[in-house]
């Protein structure tokens, strides 16, 4: 004999054991644009990883006889004003772009997320001070701030990463803080406190996992921005220093020859477009999967405007 009440109470519908990771991956894969972005990103990463094998010529190997020659079988993207192969330089430069993107966003996450967590969790004066600092950083146009930081630190690629990282820190701090604020008074946080958990433990094991979704989305979108920022800085001569190739540098070098040899600027420009687009598509897909509320918010704002 079973207790009928027990049967009632045990009437938990059999739940599918699907992890959050799996559902996220499935949602992303159902989104065609996101899949396109993922494929583009994969191509990009493969190219960057095997760049020295793919590039047919050295980055500083002049073919003076064929300088400023258009795309041909020998030089698929043409050659520049001193006869270097544009394709090889674009391929090699993908490494520095991805590296700058990853490291600078890494810096922004490493600084911004803890600031947001502390600010949102403790509130009060700590919050005011940290957030006003972030506001100051945000109030300066990103590229101007990066130029200022580079002017102080000296122009090289390492400093460019630091500068871009600092510029994007407030974005992560604000996103994290906003999500933490809505959780600070959640019952499960109070419950965690009621079992004797320390603040550090509550932040690390209860709050952080709940705010990770918007951070992931922002990371992927920020990678695109960071790569653009690096291109802009290199264009201005503040990032990668010659003779190393960078897409931004190549744009600026090609500028003077745009009428005679448009391929010099065109192909690095397309590379930037390709990269930024792939990160944006993946980022949008992730946002649809992880953070649908934020998406509808943004979309409704778009309609209202």
Partner 1 sequence: MNNAVLSVRDLQITFGTRDGRASVVNGVSYDLAAGETLAIVGESGSGKSVSCMALMQLLATPPARVEGEAIFDGRNLLTLDEAGIRKVRGNQIAMIFQDPMTSLNPVRTIGHQLIEPIELHMGLKGKAARERAADLLDAVGIPSAADRLDDYPHQFSGGMRQRVCIAMGISCEPDILIADEATTALDVTTQAKIIDEIHALQSRLGMALVWITHDLGVVAGIADRVIVLYGGRIMEEAAVNELFEGRRHPYTRGLLESLPIPGRERPDKLNAIAGLPPDPLSMPPACPFAPRCPHAVERCSTERPELRHPVPGHAVACHFDPEELYD
CA distance 68 to 58: 17
Are 175 and 252 in contact by the 8 Å Cβ rule? The answer is no
**Residue number with CB closer to partner 1 (60 or 293):** 293
CB of 195 to partner 1, least distance (A): 3
Contact between 15 and partner 1 per CB under 8 A: yes
**Is 71 in a helix, a strand, or coil?**
coil
**Position among 1, 9, 200, 303 found at the interface with partner 1 (CB under 8 A):** 9
**∠ CA(208), CA(293), CA(113), 5° rounding?**
25
Q: According to CB under 8 A, which one of 46, 50, 74, 188 is a site residue for partner 1? A: 188
* Closest distance of CB 178 from partner 1, Å: 17
CA-to-CA separations, 226 to 120, 205, 273, 276, 302, in angstroms, rounded: 26, 29, 13, 9, 24
Q: Is 200 in the site for partner 1 (CB under 8 A)?
A: no
Q: Which of 140, 191, 270, 273 binds partner 1 (CB under 8 A)?
A: 191
Which segment (2-10, 55-63, 167-175, 216-224) binds partner 1 by CB under 8 A?
A: 2-10
What is the helix (H) or strand (E) element at residue 269, kind and residue range?
helix 263-290
User: Shortest distance, CB of residue 282 to partner 1, whole angstroms?
Assistant: 22
Using the structure block, give the residue that is written with the tokens 């006003």. Answer: 132
**Does 302 engage in binding with partner 1 (CB under 8 A)?**
no
Structure tokens at 99: 């590296």
Does 25 engage in binding with partner 1 (CB under 8 A)?
A: no
Residue 2 within binding range of partner 1, rule CB under 8 A:
no
């Amino acid at each position: 004999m079973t207790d009928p009440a027990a049967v009632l109470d045990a009437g938990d519908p059999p739940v599918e054991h699907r992890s959050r990771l799996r559902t996220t991956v499935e949602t992303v894969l159902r989104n065609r644009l996101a899949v396109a972005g993922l494929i583009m990103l994969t191509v990009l990463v493969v190219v960057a990883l095997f760049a020295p094998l793919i590039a047919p010529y050295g980055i500083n190997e002049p073919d003076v006889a064929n300088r400023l020659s258009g795309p041909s079988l020998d030089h698929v993207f043409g050659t520049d004003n001193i006869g270097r192969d544009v394709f090889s330089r674009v391929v090699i430069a993908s490494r520095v772009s991805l590296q700058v993107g990853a490291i600078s966003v890494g810096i922004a996450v490493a600084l911004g997320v803890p600031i947001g967590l502390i600010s949102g969790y403790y509130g009060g004066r700590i919050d005011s001070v940290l957030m006003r600092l972030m506001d100051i950083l945000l109030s300066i146009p990103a590229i101007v701030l990066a130029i200022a930081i580079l002017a102080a630190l000296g122009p090289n690629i390492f400093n460019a990463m630091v500068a871009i990282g600092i510029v994007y820190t407030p974005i992560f701090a604000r996103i994290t803080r906003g999500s933490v604020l809505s959780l600070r008074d959640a019952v499960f946080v109070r419950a965690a406190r009621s079992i004797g958990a320390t603040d550090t433990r509550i932040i690390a094991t209860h709050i952080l996992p709940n705010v990770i979704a918007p951070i992931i989305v922002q990371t992927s979108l920020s990678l695109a921005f960071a790569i653009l920022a690096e291109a802009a800085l290199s264009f201005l001569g503040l990032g990668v220093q010659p003779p190393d190739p960078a897409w931004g540098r190549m744009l600026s070098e090609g500028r003077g020859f745009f009428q005679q040899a448009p391929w010099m600027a065109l192909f690095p420009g397309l590379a930037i477009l390709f990269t930024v687009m792939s990160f944006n598509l993946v980022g949008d897909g992730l946002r649809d999967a992880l953070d649908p509320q934020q998406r509808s918010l943004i979309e409704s704002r778009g309609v209202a405007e």
